[in-house]
Structure 1
């Protein structure tokens, strides 16, 4: 399924047969400690760097109205971010996933962001634009 924006993601999550818990990992771009001059130049041009998770949260599929609501709530934490990674975790038998499942899912996402293994997540910039990695 090709999703063009956050609204498509919300619609898809809400249309699933089992209830969904939405997982969000917010990250900042930073220059790696052991970097080359070329990496520093690309980072200054906002075309490179490493992503570091700074916060995560889960929400029910019906708890968010739109991307603006998510972004506004995140701003209230005072923690800046450059990108948010998004995934959905399905429940079973008409029940939401258990808290332990949600915690494992968020931990797995945080670990994946640390490793740069983000290809299976949706990613959005602070304005709600889809980010594609190449």
Structure 2
């Protein structure tokens, strides 16, 4: 079971084929049509809508530690609350390229916008797996 980013990297490294990781950083926001109850929950740190603000693909070797990924995200100037991660397997010993990741990344962003997040690993700002829902 993956409970931290380091577990994800270890799992990716033992896969038969090389991996490319897809990251979608999201900010929790209060929807415009939120009720008073939803507003109160959001203000206490719960609920809200997840809005994708940054997406990037990397090999596990490019970001072996969560601190590297977090630092790169900070350099964009975009605040975020949770990052969703998915993995793509390569073929015949070659990891997928960034070009090959473009369409799956687009689909991932759209899924998250629609609230379909069960296929992705959510991590907090410290790289810990979190439960959403």
TM-score using structure 2 length: 0.95
**Are the equivalent residues in 1 in contact too, given 2:57–2:98 (CA < 8 A)?**
no
1:58 partner SS = strand
Q: Structure 1: which 5+ runs fail to align?
A: none
Per-residue deviation, 1:133: 1.8
- Residue aligning to 2:124: 125
- For the aligned residue pairs, the C-alpha RMSD in angstroms reads 1.1
In the TM superposition, what whole-angstrom CA distance separates every residue of 1:40-84 from its partner, at most 9, and x where no partner exists?
011101111000000100001211121111101111111111110
Q: Counterparts of 1:67-82 in structure 2 under 5 Å?
A: 67-82=66-81
- Contact 1:119–1:133, Cα closer than 8 Å, also in 2: no
For structure 2, the 5+ residue unaligned runs are none
3-state SS of 1:3 partner: coil
Matched residue count: 133
TM-score, normalisation: structure 1? 0.94
List structure 1 runs of 4+ shifted beyond 4 angstroms: none
